[in-house]
């Protein structure tokens, strides 16, 4: 190698080393100025371990959580994660409804468990998905395994739900735009926000309350939790011809508090009567049904 080539080679190598050193220095400066945030890992229920029957339902034990299920004499289904029960409650009147002692928690196909009653069928999968069906087996809703993010002794959580493709969402309290809930994200309010118009569209109820109506059946669901939270809704779509149906979806995200909710299956009149029996007053306007007809 002659002197000219040797000088060119040494220059290239020197510039390469300088580039590496410069990049290394920048990374050290960035590391000092922008501390890396700790990775948050969501807790899920884990694998199913077993179950303990109780009057009207029972507890299903998972590796990282316990699911409590209960069916009332009127057909309302209580679902409480991390072992929480219906009481103490923000919404229930008195001691809550009496349980249907004829309901038995029994093994289901695929290694899961189920509750069978005259008005509702509830199944629990090995990973914690909860399905509510009609007595004939038609699915009304499927709640996927929840997720918790825990810090400083508090746990925010998310509950994801799938409903039939033709289902429509109503409710969540007083809204300027009416009872029909189109696709979007909705904030939950703990107090009356005051005067509002079509552009502001706040919610009166702090607890998520939905009425889900589909051709196969309807149900009312509410989470007994008044912590700050949001609800995200995506309407489903029925497949045209040979196309696949896209289920409707709901995400309930709360900043803390218990993950517990009630599902009231049945026609609108029955669901509203059962809700009145649970909470003492009906806060859902009858115009929900009219809104559903217009949306269809």
Query: 249-268: per-residue pLDDT in tens?
Result: 999 999 999 999 999 999 88
Stretch among 14-18, 131-135, 191-195, 270-274 having the lowest mean pLDDT? 14-18
E strands in the chain? 48-54, 57-62, 66-71, 77-81, 104-107, 113-116, 121-124, 130-133, 139-143, 147-151, 154-163, 168-171, 184-187, 209-214, 217-223, 229-234, 248-254, 260-265
Structure tokens at 259: 């993950």
Helix/strand/coil for 232: strand
Render pLDDT for 164-189 as a digit per residue (tens, 0 to 9): 999 998 876 655 555 677 888 887 76
| Residue 63 phi, psi dihedral angles, 5° rounding | -65, -35
Nearest-angstrom CA–CA distance, 214 and 169: 9
Alpha carbons 20 and 266: distance in angstroms, whole number: 68
**N-term to C-term CA, the chain:** 83
Whether residue 22 is predicted with pLDDT greater than 50 in this model: the reply is yes
What pLDDT sits at residue 281? Answer: 63
Structure tokens at 101: 């002692």
pLDDT by residue (tens digit) across 214-254?
998 999 998 998 888 888 999 988 876 666 788 999 999 99
Q: What global pTM score does this model have?
A: 0.78
Closest to 79 (Cα-Cα) out of 62, 98, 61, 59:
59
């Amino acid at each position: 190698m002659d002197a000219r080539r040797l000088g060119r080679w040494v220059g290239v190598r020197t510039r390469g080393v300088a580039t590496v050193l410069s990049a290394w220095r920048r990374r050290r400066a960035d590391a000092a100025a922008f501390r890396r945030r700790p990775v948050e890992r969501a807790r899920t229920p884990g694998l199913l371990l077993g179950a303990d029957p109780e009057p009207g339902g029972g507890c299903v034990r998972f590796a990282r959580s316990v699911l409590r299920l209960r069916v009332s004499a009127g057909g309302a289904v209580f679902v409480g994660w991390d072992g929480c029960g219906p009481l103490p409650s923000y919404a229930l009147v008195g001691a809550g409804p009496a349980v249907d002692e004829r309901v038995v928690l029994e093994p289901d196909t695929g290694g899961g468990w189920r509750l069978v009653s005259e008005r509702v069928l509830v199944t629990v999968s090995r990973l914690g998905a909860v399905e509510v069906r009609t007595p004939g087996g038609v699915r009304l809703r499927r709640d996927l395994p929840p997720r918790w993010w825990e810090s400083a002794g508090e746990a925010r959580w998310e509950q994801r739900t799938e409903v039939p493709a033709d289902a429509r969402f109503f409710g969540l309290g007083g809204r300027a735009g009416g009872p029909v809930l189109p696709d979007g994200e909705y904030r939950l309010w703990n107090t009356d926000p005051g005067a509002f118009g079509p552009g502001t569209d706040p919610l009166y109820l702090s607890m998520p309350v939905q009425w889900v109506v589909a051709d196969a059946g309807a149900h009312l669901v509410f989470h007994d939790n008044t912590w700050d939270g949001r609800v995200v809704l995506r309407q489903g779509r029925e497949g045209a011809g040979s196309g696949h149906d896209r289920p409707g979806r709901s995400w309930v995200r709360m900043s803390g508090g218990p993950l517990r909710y009630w599902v009231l299956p049945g026609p609108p009149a029955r669901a509203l009567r059962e809700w009145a029996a649970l909470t003492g007053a009906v806060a859902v306007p009858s115009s929900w049904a009219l809104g559903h007809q217009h949306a269809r």
